[in-house]
Amino acid sequence: MDKINVFSEIGKLNSIILHRPGEELTNIVPSLMDELLFDEVPYLKNAQIEHDRFADILRDNGVEVHYIEKLAKESIVSDEIRQELIETFIDEASIRGLEEIKLVREYLESIKDNQKLIDKMIAGIRKEEIGLKSNSILSRKDSVREFYSTLPMPNLYFTRDTFALVGSGVCMNTMWSNVRQRESIFGDMIFKNHPAFKDNKPKYYYNKNSNYTLEGGDVIVLSNKIVAVGISQRTEGKAIVEFAKNLLSSDDGFEKVLCLALPISRSTMHLDTVFTMIDKDLFTVYPGIRGSLEILELTLQDGEIKIKELGKDIERVLSENLGTDGVTFIENGPRGMIDAEIEQWSDGYNTLAIGPREVVVYERNDAINELLYKNNVKLHKLVEGELSRGRGGPRCMSMPLNRDNYF
């Protein structure tokens, strides 16, 4: 497996980490959608077909694809690590009652195949699987929630969020929603225990047990000197300061963090839902954020973070920091904000660069895709109808492990 090397968003992509959707999607019911952060219920069979198409696009373009569930299984290299995984999972699963905790522990310990153990943790555990029954009348207050001992992790196929690989290190994230916090267990175990990292354990720029929330969809590696991070619905400013201090004091060579303050709403839950990098002078930008985007510059001086206000002119800030004569924004189609709002909802601004001016996009976003094509961008269009129901695009669904250096 390649070493961690992510010093840009646009260097040729060599290897990546995905999660193929599994039985966890079949455990989403309408009454749990809000808690599980879904607006609709995806159909598993088609979601898997679409996700396999996504992986094939990457493989066909020379990208080595790793699956987080398989890497997690390979990281269980001792009985001690296996037991630690079970205990950590139980601690973070919000199981109610000592007897139920005991039954969940016994159930997980009874699963001898490590891949099946990982898959069951992700899928969720129904009470009936551990010998418990719920009375629908007595449980009316919590409705369907009362039928689960541990909730499923349907958001895991958005592998971008739970950890971000930056430079040669790992940002292991504290998730905004408690229901997603368990997802980072697997990445944490991989980077600490997988045989590929046995002799070269990566440095951590953030820890999953921090007091402040930070998610990977808000982290964009603009160059080998600059990282952008969004203050969003799911990433707090104090988390960015903590991350920046660790990153800028490392030997990876980063010099500053640009902090972009987004409107706090579900539609702008992460920076990459409204802003992605196509080339050093080409970006997708949802026009709805242009007038409200406050930009801060974080640098390290004498061991402390210094903060400078840069205003709202994102075009000027990007041009100055990336050394270009200007930048071009892919914003909206011929119908203006109508196209922009529709295609922001269907993840048109969430592109995954596999090289400079070469991106994976959802086929459905005709207006933005046409603008990208007119700007000489090579498009790999993913035909889908189920994956976007989880509110995330190609960048959300992927965590680059290794890229060629571009800058």
Q: Do residues 397 and 57 make contact, with C-beta atoms less than 8 angstroms apart?
A: no
Give exposure, 164-182, as e/b (b: 16+ Cβ within 10 Å): bbbbbbbbbbbbbeebbbb
Tokens of 356: 């400079």
Gap between the Cα atoms of 243 and 245, Å rounded: 6
Q: Do residues 368 and 343 make contact, with C-beta atoms less than 8 angstroms apart?
A: yes
Which burial class, exposed, middle or buried, applies to 71 when counting CB atoms under 10 A from its CB (0-12, 13-18, 19+)? buried
Q: Do residues 396 and 384 make contact, with C-beta atoms less than 8 angstroms apart?
A: no
Residue 119, CA distances (Å) to 6, 71, 73, 127, 198 in order: 28, 12, 9, 17, 24
Residue 396 a catalytic site member = yes
Beta strand ranges found along 173-218 (DSSP E): 204-206
In 10 A of CB 12, how many CB atoms? 18
In 10 A of CB 46, how many CB atoms? 14
CA dihedral in degrees (52, 53, 55, 59; nearest 10)? 130
**Is 81 strand, coil or helix?**
helix
Alpha carbon 243 to chain centroid, angstroms? 16
Gap between the Cα atoms of 273 and 263, Å rounded: 12
The C-alpha R_g of the chain, in whole angstroms, comes to: 21
**Is 356 strand, coil or helix?**
coil
Choice among 104, 125, 396, 401 that is catalytic: 396
Q: What is the DSSP string of 274-292?
A: TEEEEETTEEEE-GGGTTT
**Is 198 strand, coil or helix?**
coil
Identify the H or E element spanning 70. Answer: helix 68-74
List beta partners, residue 276. 284
Identify the H or E element spanning 359. Answer: strand 358-362
The residues annotated with a catalytic role in the active site are: 396
